[in-house]
Amino acid sequence: MKEFLKNLKFVWQFAKGERAKLIKYIICNIFMIIISIVAPIISAQIIIYLTDSLFTQLLFLAVVLCLVEWFRNIFNRFAMYYAQVIYRETFISLQTQLGKEIMRLETSVIDQNGSGVFIQRLTNDTSRLASVFNLLNQHLSNILTDLGIFVAILIINVWAFIYLVVIVFILFLLERKRTNLYNENDRKFRKKNEKVSSFVGEIIRGIRDIKMLHSEDSFSKELYSQVKELNLDRYEMNAVNRRYIFKRSMLRDLFDMGLIFLLVYLILEDNLVVANALVIHNYAVRIPNIVWSVGILLDGIKDFNLSSTRVFDIMYGKEYKKEKFGSKHLNKVNGDFQFSHVSFRYKDSDVVLDDLSFQVHANETVAFVGKSGAGKSTIFSLLCKLYPVDSGKITIDGVDINLLDQDSIRGNITVISQNPYIFHVSVRDNLRLMMEDITEEEMIRACKLACIHDFIMTLPDGYDTIVGEGGVNLSGGQRQRLAIARAFLQKTEIILFDEATSALDNETQKEIQKAIHNLQKDYTILIIAHRLSTIINSDRILFIDKGKVMGEGTHKELLKSCKGYKELYEAELKER
Ligand code: ADP
């Protein structure tokens, strides 16, 4: 209970804005509870008038009863409206906040956990948290309503009341056992569900590769086995409910029979009139509902606590580390930076960068070459502070990046990856995502510099053409050039360019080289080169091997001084 109150206090922060509606919602429910207590008493009176043939009073009470029920409907209508607004607003602010927290997580945390962990918590768990006020109100008022019926029965006959209290107590013990069992299974089920969601997400993202590898069958089989296992677990989990519902129904019928015996006995003993016995019997049918309501409330509270833990884990948990930035802000950087004795390994991996040192001056174009797995992309990731270094120091304009705020690092670096992500919106909107108030001239200028303008003009709707999700209807080279145009618009001083590994045709390659050439001298550019021919004109080339700089200089200098570089170059010449 203590845990529940703590969690409730937390969720309240997100619902505070709807305080007035919450109060109105509670008031509506209080009126509904009062009506539920009054209605059976009026009904009892109606039956008494009926048996005594007092028809005028009977008609009057029928009208009163109708009005009372109408009021209940009106209050219910408003209560539903308030409940939905409270849920909507709480859900929006909770989900937005959790989304922000997920984006603040360290990259390694995202690497290690599948996307399912975050998707499930961002969608299902936040929804459960947001519905806590409705859950509480709805079930508490159900319980209070049923208690109202108890009060009405107590007024009519004390023995019938005692009998029903005993029944409720027995049913309640049974219900508590069920909720404990069910919740334990639910916790396990949700963990598994996250895994399956991750897998489904991966299938969707990798659908093109799956098709090209013609591996639909093996993925379908794997999906089948995961989904089957998950659903068998769900089935087992629901079996607890099935068994319980059966026991409860059998017991309820037994208790009902007992109640009839008791009512007949009370009538025979002149302790009860027939009309009241009928009222008690009609309303006693609802008595197991109180246990059911308590059960759902307990389920809901446990569910709420479980979801809270899962959401708080991401927000505050030690396991889900957040990125840390310094407070120093650089308005505009020159673009100088330096790696000094940097060592780094990914979690559970071997050393990737080993005491790595090099310096890059502002407006220089430096290329990194080396075998695949040498650590080139990792250098980019560390420069953007996607991972913290294990030892050593990285500086931008002479300032340790650990002291810099997020904006000074990422706001001054643009990364053009091997396969840049292009969003499923128009070309224009893809560019506008970088710079909201972009003018038509700026956009066209950037695209011309990136050598993509002519291609865009051939598209059916020019700049308004929608490019498929991930830019699927653009070639690799076109995606990279569009990303270069985005880089022009971002106007950051440092551009990190990861050349596409897939072979591009000569024409495209030339266009990309031209686009990069347009950036040179005004920006500090780092290129990861997979083909040496494209970076021969760089100011400097660094040859990386096993996370160390093994050679440094111009193409000609390296051919003379660096054996590894020479071998790589000769291997490429042979391939041509
Ligand atoms: P390159 O760009 O030179 O091909 P990378 O920097 O991508 O090399 O990778 C260097 C090494 O780090 C490789 O052995 C790779 O398997 C490993 N690695 C890369 N990214 C990760 C990651 N997110 N988690 C664990 N290991 C990784």
| Residue with tokens 């053409």, as numbered in its chain | 465
Probe ligand 1: pick from 352, 550, 568, max atoms within 8 Å of CB? Answer: 352
Q: Is the CB of 346 under 6 A from ligand 1?
A: yes
CA 544 to ligand 1: nearest atom = 3
Q: Is the CB of 148 under 6 A from ligand 1?
A: no
How far apart CA 306 and CA 187 sit, in angstroms, is 7
Task: Let me know whether 265 and 391 are in one domain.
Answer: no
The residue whose CA has the least distance to atom 21 of ligand 1 is 346
Cα–ligand 1 centroid distance for 376 (angstroms) = 8
Cα–ligand 1 centroid distance for 63 (angstroms) = 79
- CA geometry: angle at 388 spanning 382 and 393, to 5°? 75
The residue whose CA has the least distance to atom 24 of ligand 1 is 346
- Whether residue 326 lies inside any domain: the answer is no
Of the candidates 409, 311, 390, 319, the one whose C-alpha atom is nearest the C-alpha of residue 110 is: 319
Instruction: Give residue 33's identity as a one-letter amino acid code.
Output: I
Last residue of a domain, one of 315, 349, 364: 315
pLDDT the model gives residue 469 = 60
For 409, the token pair is 């690092």
Cα–ligand 1 centroid distance for 501 (angstroms) = 15
pLDDT the model gives residue 503 = 55
Q: Is the CB of 348 under 6 A from ligand 1?
A: no
List the domain range (segments joined by +) for residue 305.
15-315
- Whether residue 325 lies inside any domain: the answer is no
pLDDT the model gives residue 471 = 59
CA 547 to ligand 1: nearest atom = 10
Task: Let me know whether 363 and 295 are in one domain.
Answer: no
CA 108 to ligand 1: nearest atom = 23
How far apart CA 487 and CA 502 sit, in angstroms, is 21
Probe ligand 1: pick from 378, 379, 390, max atoms within 8 Å of CB? Answer: 378
pLDDT the model gives residue 544 = 93
CA 528 to ligand 1: nearest atom = 2
Last residue of a domain, one of 257, 280, 315: 315
Task: Let me know whether 239 and 368 are in one domain.
Answer: no
Edge-to-edge strand list for the sheet holding 540-545: 413-416, 494-498, 524-528, 365-369, 540-545, 548-553
Q: Is the CB of 375 under 6 A from ligand 1?
A: yes
Task: Let me know whether 388 and 511 are in one domain.
Answer: yes
Cα–ligand 1 centroid distance for 88 (angstroms) = 43
* CA 251, chain centre distance (Å): 43
- Whether residue 148 lies inside any domain: the answer is yes
Cα 428 to Cα 23, 404, 432, 453, 476: the distances in Å are: 47, 33, 6, 11, 19
Task: Let me know whether 348 and 207 are in one domain.
Answer: no
Query: For the chain, what is the domain count?
Result: 2
Whether the Cβ atoms of residue 532 and residue 369 lie closer than 8 Å to each other: yes
The residue whose CA has the least distance to atom 11 of ligand 1 is 373
Q: Mean pLDDT by 10-residue block, N- to C-terminus, for the chain (576 residues)?
A: 86 87 89 81 77 82 88 90 90 92 90 81 91 84 78 86 90 84 81 84 82 83 90 86 86 90 92 84 77 83 89 87 91 89 90 93 92 90 93 94 92 84 84 82 89 90 80 77 85 84 67 78 86 81 92 90 88 74
Whether the Cβ atoms of residue 204 and residue 115 lie closer than 8 Å to each other: no
Of the candidates 378, 372, 379, the one whose C-alpha atom is nearest the C-alpha of residue 338 is: 379
CATH number of the domain where residue 417 is located: 3.40.50.300
Residue 411 φ/ψ, nearest 5 degrees: -75, -15
Task: Let me know whether 241 and 96 are in one domain.
Answer: yes
Q: Where are the alpha helices (DSSP H) in 269-337?
A: 274-284, 287-316
The residue whose CA has the least distance to atom 14 of ligand 1 is 373
Cα–ligand 1 centroid distance for 498 (angstroms) = 14
pLDDT the model gives residue 206 = 82
Task: Let me know whether 118 and 170 are in one domain.
Answer: yes
Q: Is the CB of 377 under 6 A from ligand 1?
A: yes
- Whether residue 342 lies inside any domain: the answer is yes
Last residue of a domain, one of 315, 348, 366: 315
Q: Is the CB of 327 under 6 A from ligand 1?
A: no
Q: What SS3 state is found at 459?
A: coil
Q: Is the CB of 352 under 6 A from ligand 1?
A: yes
Probe ligand 1: pick from 110, 349, 351, max atoms within 8 Å of CB? Answer: 349
Task: Let me know whether 121 and 164 are in one domain.
Answer: yes
Q: Is the CB of 501 under 6 A from ligand 1?
A: no
How far apart CA 312 and CA 210 sit, in angstroms, is 36
Number of other CB atoms surrounding residue 373 within 10 Å: 11
- Whether residue 487 lies inside any domain: the answer is yes
- Whether residue 331 lies inside any domain: the answer is no
Instruction: Give residue 306's identity as a one-letter amino acid code.
Output: L
Q: Can you spell out the DSSP letters for 102-139? A: HHTB-HHHHHHS-HHHHHHIIIIIHHHHHTHHHHHHHH
CA 375 to ligand 1: nearest atom = 6
How far apart CA 36 and CA 74 sit, in angstroms, is 14
Q: Can you spell out the DSSP letters for 75-101? A: HHHHHHHHHHHHHHHHHHHHHHHHHHH
Q: Is the CB of 373 under 6 A from ligand 1?
A: yes
Task: Let me know whether 456 and 360 are in one domain.
Answer: yes
Task: Let me know whether 122 and 216 are in one domain.
Answer: yes
Q: Is the CB of 382 under 6 A from ligand 1?
A: no
Task: Let me know whether 83 and 228 are in one domain.
Answer: yes
Give pTM, 2 decimals.
0.73
| Residue with tokens 């799956």, as numbered in its chain | 210
For 169, the token pair is 């107590």
Task: Let me know whether 300 and 345 are in one domain.
Answer: no
- Whether residue 465 lies inside any domain: the answer is yes
- Whether residue 5 lies inside any domain: the answer is no
Probe ligand 1: pick from 113, 377, 380, 499, max atoms within 8 Å of CB? Answer: 377
Of the candidates 187, 92, 96, 159, the one whose C-alpha atom is nearest the C-alpha of residue 130 is: 92
CATH number of the domain where residue 164 is located: 1.20.1560.10
pLDDT the model gives residue 99 = 92
How far apart CA 86 and CA 136 sit, in angstroms, is 13
Probe ligand 1: pick from 346, 351, 353, 542, max atoms within 8 Å of CB? Answer: 346
Q: Is the CB of 378 under 6 A from ligand 1?
A: yes
